[in-house]
Amino acid sequence: MYSAKVMEHFLHPRNVGVIEDADGVGEVGNPACGDVMTFYVKVKEDRIAEVKFQTFGCAAAIAVASMVSEMAKGKHISEALKITNRDVAEALEGLPKQKLHCSNLGADALHKAIEDYLARKKEKEAGDDGNQSSCAR
């Protein structure tokens, strides 16, 4: 039913855990199947320096989260945002038809974590600009 690559990432998932001081956090869930994924990213010079995940779900969901984390590590954020569900399924050498939705969760959770990072960065930059201008007055 599952490819050897899916089983490898399910039995030995990479990058499991939490980044306490994450630069971005993204969580998605699928109410139909109950799967929930949370991704945490640390970004240095616009590259994913560290990525971790937590997932509550089936073997495919765990394998997908593990693979997405490996695919994103070291990538520029613009490249990581281009990771698609199809890319993930192909990297895992296929997923059963009824489990393809899991690949959406992984890519979506990663994208949300990066979007959270970008929003925090923008907010911080706006705050820094505001502090500088008020001091200069």
pTM assigned to the model: 0.88
In tens digits, the chain (137 residues) has pLDDT values of 899 999 999 999 999 999 999 999 999 998 777 889 999 999 999 999 999 999 998 899 999 999 999 999 999 999 999 999 889 999 999 888 888 777 678 999 999 999 999 999 998 888 876 555 444 44
Count of domains observed in the chain: 1
Q: What is the DSSP letter of 59?
A: H
Among candidate residues 60, 68, 71, 102, the one labeled active-site is 102
Is 102 annotated as catalytic?
A: yes
Among candidate residues 7, 25, 33, 58, the one labeled active-site is 33
**pLDDT attached to residue 95:** 85
Q: Is residue 137 part of a domain?
A: no
The CATH number of whichever domain residue 107 belongs to comes to 3.90.1010.10
Spatial contact of 88 and 64, defined as CB atoms under 8 Å apart:
yes
**How many C-beta atoms surround the C-beta of residue 103 within 10 A?**
26
Sheet holding 36-44, edge to edge: 24-29, 36-44, 47-56
Range of the domain at 15: 4-119
Is 58 annotated as catalytic?
A: no
Q: Is residue 134 part of a domain?
A: no
